[in-house]
């Protein structure tokens, strides 16, 4: 059997389909990973884990605001945004505390 352009002969891997949409378990996993990153971001690596949590939450929501939104995805997105905002405030505050002295 001959494969045409863009279509494999075996159909592997086809877990995402033609549109690239993530499946249910993929979204659930991304939501949980986002929540874990957001909670861990409150304790360490704020500026790194906050945006990672936001990205995981956004991907878990299916990259749109329409339709049903799983709870872990929304929690990851909101906590990641709060975490990132707090990290920016903390960095801005610590930059002003030096007063030019070494």
Q: Is the pTM of this model over 0.75?
A: no
CB 26 within 8 A of CB 70: no
pLDDT of residue 56: 93
pLDDT of residue 46: 80
Is residue 81 included in any domain, yes or no?
yes
Q: How far apart are CA 15 and CA 80, in angstroms?
A: 28
pLDDT of residue 35: 93
Is residue 82 included in any domain, yes or no?
yes
Convert the pLDDT of each residue in 8-31 to its tens digit.
555 545 445 545 566 667 888 899
Residues in the chain with pLDDT values less than 50: 12, 14-15, 18
Count of domains observed in the chain: 1
In which domain, by residue range, is 74 found?
Answer: 24-95
């Amino acid at each position: 059997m001959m494969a045409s352009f863009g279509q494999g002969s075996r159909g592997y891997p086809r877990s995402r389909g033609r549109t690239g949409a993530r499946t249910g378990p993929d979204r659930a996993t991304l939501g949980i990973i986002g929540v874990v990153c957001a909670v861990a971001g409150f304790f360490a690596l704020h500026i790194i884990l906050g945006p990672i949590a936001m990205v995981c939450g956004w991907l878990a929501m299916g990259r749109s605001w329409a339709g049903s939104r799983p709870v872990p995805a929304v929690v990851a997105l909101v906590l990641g945004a709060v975490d990132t905002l707090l990290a920016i405030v903390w960095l801005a505050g610590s930059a002003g505390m030096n007063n030019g002295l070494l």
